[in-house]
Amino acid sequence: MKRGRGTIKKYAIYFVFFILVSVIVSPLVNELLIIGILNYYGCHFTQTQGSDILRGISVVTTPLCELSAQQRVAVSGTGPAANITISFILFLLGMEFRNKKQYRNSSLSSLASIGFIASPILLMLSGEGELHGVFSIIDAEHSLWLLPVLGSILLALAVLYFWSQIEYMRK
């Protein structure tokens, strides 16, 4: 394994890439999908910009129309569902790159995968976010305990995957 400045620079680039995906790209995809769904329903909206540790750079999109329960579920669930789906696709792509011994592509795809799932995991564990709203909309507050359990399982899997990717990158 190559040691020294090149290795530190490589890890720094990977770290910056991970932060960009988890703090900027993932929240942006989330909000763009919410805006797309609201536009599909013909609903005007307002937006408030902000940032915090759980959501990264965030834009809170508030509909200015009356939505049915099904429409509210679609609006609230689209972002997290898309982030989890994109994460899974990038995970599979990273594994394919790993099988083909394309180290850089595997590392970037894997870190992007973890970056996309980081926000939904943190929100599941924190008791905040769109998924909690979905449970409220469908009148299933009694099942909210499932989100931290699911978040813990996803976190454990993400940490194991991240660790295996670090080991893989060290080769």
The pLDDT of residue 8 is above 70:
yes
pLDDT band at 42 (very low <50, low <70, confident <90, very high): very high
Per DSSP, which regions of 53-165 are E strands?
56-63
| Distance (Å, whole) CA 66 – CA 129 | 20
pLDDT band at 40 (very low <50, low <70, confident <90, very high): very high
Q: Is the pLDDT of residue 168 over 80?
A: no
Write out the DSSP string of 18-55. Answer: HHHIIIIIHHHHHHHHHHHHHHHTT--EEEEEEEETTT
Residue 121: give the domain boundaries: 5-170
**Mean pLDDT of the chain, nearest integer:** 85
Higher pLDDT, 59 or 93: 93
Total domains in the fold of the chain: 1
> Is pLDDT of 52 > 90?
no
Tell whether the model's pLDDT for residue 1 goes beyond 50: no
Inter-residue contact 23 to 57 (CB < 8 Å): yes
C-beta pairs of 162-169 under 8 Å, 24+ apart in sequence: 162/110, 162/114, 165/94, 165/106, 165/107, 165/110, 165/111, 165/114, 168/98, 168/103, 168/106, 168/107, 169/10, 169/11, 169/14, 169/103, 169/107
Find where tokens 């080991």 sit. Answer: 167
Lowest mean pLDDT across 23-32, 68-77, 103-112, 122-131: 122-131
